[in-house]
Amino acid sequence: MATEQINKKTKVGVVVSDKMDKTIVVETERVYRHPEFKRILKTKKKYKVHDEQALAKLGDIVEIYEGRPASKTKYMYLMRVIKPSASVTRSSGE
Run means of pLDDT, 10 residues per run, the chain, 94 residues: 65 96 96 96 97 94 96 96 76 50
What are the two backbone dihedrals, phi and then psi, of residue 3, each rounded to the nearest 5 degrees?
-70, -30
What pLDDT is attached to residue 25? 97
State the pTM of this model: 0.81
Is 62 part of any domain?
Answer: yes
What pLDDT is attached to residue 51? 95
- The CATH code of the domain that includes 59 is 2.40.50.140
What pLDDT is attached to residue 86? 80
Count of domains observed in the chain: 1
Minimal CA–CA distance to 66: which of 56, 58, 77, 74? 77
What pLDDT is attached to residue 1? 47
Cβ neighbours of 58 (radius 10 Å): 15
What pLDDT is attached to residue 88? 55
Cβ neighbours of 14 (radius 10 Å): 18
Domain that holds residue 9: 2-83
> Which residues, at least 6 apart from 88, have a Cβ–Cβ distance to it below 8 Å?
57, 58, 59
Is 94 part of any domain?
Answer: no
Is 88 part of any domain?
Answer: no
Is 44 part of any domain?
Answer: yes
